Amino acid sequence: MANDMMVKDLDEVVVRFSGDSGDGMQLAGNIFSTVSATVGNDISTFPDYPADIRAPQGSLTGVSGFQVHIGAQKVYTPGDQCDVLVAMNAAALKTQYKFVKPNGTIIIDTDAFQKSDLEKAAFQTENPIEEMGIKQEVIAASITTMVKDCLASTGMDNKSILKCRNMFAVGLVCWLFDRDLKIAEDFIREKFGKKPEVAEANIKVIHAGWDYGHNTHASIAHATCRIESKVKVPGRYMDITGNKATAYGFIAAAEKAGLKLFLGSYPITPATDVLHELSKHKSLGVMTVQCEDEISGCATAIGASFAGALAVTSTSGPGVCLKSEAMNLAVITELPLVVLDVQRGGPSTGLPTKSEQTDLLQALFGRNGESPMPVIAATSPTNCFDAAYMACKIALEHMTPVVLLTDGYVANGSGAWKLPKLAEYPAINPPYAPADMKDNYTPYRRNPETGVRYWAIPGQEGYTHILGGLEKDSNTGAISTDPENHNLMCHLRAEKVAKIPVPDVQVQGCADDADLLIVGFGGTYGHLYSAMDEMIKAGKKVALAHFSFLNPLPKNTEEVLKRYKKVVVAEQNLGQFAAYLRMKVNNFTPYQFNEVKGQPFVVAELVKAFNEIINQ
């Protein structure tokens, strides 16, 4: 489909789709990001859901957003501000305008700016553009009317027709950025495979949006734009969310280990999509159970682990609170278990659709007794696959529960993911009880080098044993209240976790002579890396040490943290990682950058704060 306007090449662009929570903004954003990833662009997305189950239509609290950053080269964040804002109603314009760049473009549906719409959005006049002082270019289109005209002959009811409005916006944005609609058509036909009439209606509307752009010569600064990929690595790519990548990582680990995968779970935002995804893959030997509560979700997984499966339980912060008793059962029985915690805003119900890093200390210490547990944090949506795989590998090879931390930002966000080759991933070798232990096996006999107990699967003749929540004798496996034995077992469990080999933390940027070392963990990687990159381009000497393995910490942690005069720990909580590092590294006194807003970091704010630290 040829674009006959002047086409300008760009290195990157940020588009934000916004509208009522029923306007399909997440689907619109997913289609545009998929189209872009398929043609080789790198992408980073950020779905921004309202917390209300269903806010009143047109209300300020009911606005749903989806931001996508498209780059000709690697992009690390969804972007601080957008080049194009799609505002499908007055409330969306009111709440999302703050994200538009000064030279950006705004697309509005004028049919959704009637008097009643303006009143719901708390506008005082009938001219919201003037009232808000908007200076950016505005493409004002009567989208609703055009969609109704487009589908008038289909026989669809009015409600169904209105659900297609989002496709008009997608088509118009595809015109602005010279995107091929063929990929979008394929996506829509697959999405609505069981409703072909709905698929074709949406495709008709997406073409209408593209045609509107073509016929009116809609443009951004008097040209349509193209983002041509400059770094193309051969391979098969897909636009994948963090939750889906996590699910695939669990499946891959089970396949590599030669085990069945079992998920015991209870639905909770924003972790539920992992349960949904894994439930689709029974053909791969995946077993999923949606339990009646969080503790039973964890307990069923422990039972599956005892029976010899790769066991996973998924939840968010409130669910980890409830699972903690069962998690300790996995600690004392030394059974492999992966506990996925997709962190969200808290405390209590808090901000269920928003993202934080506030569960770190809970993951490290939030259980009774001495209960050491490895903790891993994913750094991006695509990294969730590798993080899930490594969490499973550690759990199975070291006979321990492992906490895998993601968060709402990386779980719901997406990136262009190159499909990996499983053969290139490290082997997973559970420590099965050797044959020479037959008939004299006890459950806490250990590998003398690793401290890992040998695993006997029920049903093997000669390996009869008992496990449970009461302390056991280290030699016989019988229940023991002996003080010396308990002291020994606590040390053995802690030493086993401490011995787990993890990669050294890598220092990026000006590693040899930085005036400031930025330290972070988990899902803030893209924003911290982008801040470092901007500062280096501005002539500052800055480095970044970003942690994925939190317990045990990499062996070079202390050496790295003490190598630099100034260190700032930046995290989306009130200082949990900084406190943990001070506990682990003597005389470590970092600067801190802490925000708990339920939103990703803003790179410009990071750069400003880090420059102030350098200049002090």
Q: Give me the CATH number covering residue 127.
A: 3.40.920.10
Specify whether 465 is located in the same domain as 529. Answer: no
Per-residue model confidence as pLDDT tens digits over 578-614: 999 999 999 999 999 999 999 999 999 999 999 999 9
Per-residue model confidence as pLDDT tens digits over 319-360: 999 999 999 999 999 999 999 999 999 999 999 999 999 999
Q: Is residue 514 part of a domain?
A: yes
Choose one of 501, 522, 540: the last residue of a domain.
501
Specify whether 181 is located in the same domain as 307. Answer: no
Exposure string over 449-469, b if 16+ CB within 10 A, otherwise e:
ebbbbbbbeeeeeebeeebee
Give the pLDDT score at 512: 96
The Cβ of residue 585 has, within 10 Å, a number of other Cβ atoms equal to 17
Specify whether 253 is located in the same domain as 381. Answer: yes
Specify whether 269 is located in the same domain as 408. Answer: yes
Please calculate the CA angle 75-513-378 and round it to the nearest 5 degrees.
Answer: 35
Q: Which amino acid is at 417?
A: W
| Residue 527 pLDDT greater than 90, yes or no | yes
Q: Is residue 234 part of a domain?
A: no
Nearest C-alpha neighbor of 438 from the set 426, 423, 456, 453: 456
Please spell the DSSP secondary structure of 516-565, one letter per residue: EEEEEEGGGHHHHHHHHHHHHHTT--EEEEEESEEESPPTTHHHHHTSSS
Specify whether 496 is located in the same domain as 517. Answer: no
Specify whether 374 is located in the same domain as 311. Answer: yes
The parent domain of residue 247 ranges over: 239-424
Instruction: Lay out the sheet containing 401-407: strands in order across.
Output: 286-290, 261-265, 310-315, 337-343, 401-407, 375-377, 549-551
Q: Give me the CATH number covering residue 250.
A: 3.40.50.970
User: pTM for the complete prediction?
Assistant: 0.92
Specify whether 296 is located in the same domain as 183. Answer: no
Rounded distance between C-alpha atoms, residue 588 and residue 568, angstroms: 11
Q: Identify the helix (H) or strand (E) that includes residue 401.
A: strand 401-407
50 forms beta bridges with none
Q: Which two tokens stand for residue 170?
A: 């997608």
Specify whether 513 is located in the same domain as 457. Answer: no
The Cβ of residue 378 has, within 10 Å, a number of other Cβ atoms equal to 30
Specify whether 106 is located in the same domain as 87. Answer: yes
Per-residue model confidence as pLDDT tens digits over 228-279: 665 567 788 888 999 999 999 999 999 999 999 999 999 999 999 999 999 9
Rounded distance between C-alpha atoms, residue 554 and residue 245, angstroms: 25
Choose one of 457, 480, 501: the last residue of a domain.
501
Specify whether 59 is located in the same domain as 177. Answer: yes
Nearest C-alpha neighbor of 329 from the set 299, 365, 308, 286: 299
Per-residue model confidence as pLDDT tens digits over 180-201: 899 999 999 999 999 999 999 9
Sign of the four-CA dihedral 197, 198, 201, 203: negative
Tally of domains within the chain = 4
Choose one of 357, 390, 424: the last residue of a domain.
424
Q: Is residue 50 part of a domain?
A: yes
Q: Is 479 helix (H, G, I), strand (E, B) or coil?
A: strand
Q: Is residue 231 part of a domain?
A: no
Please report how many Cα atoms fall inside a 13 Å half-sphere around the Cα of residue 395, on the Cβ side. Answer: 36
Cis before 426 (ω within 30) = no
Helix ranges (H only) for 163-293 are: 165-176, 181-191, 196-216, 242-257, 272-278
Q: Which amino acid is at 399?
A: M
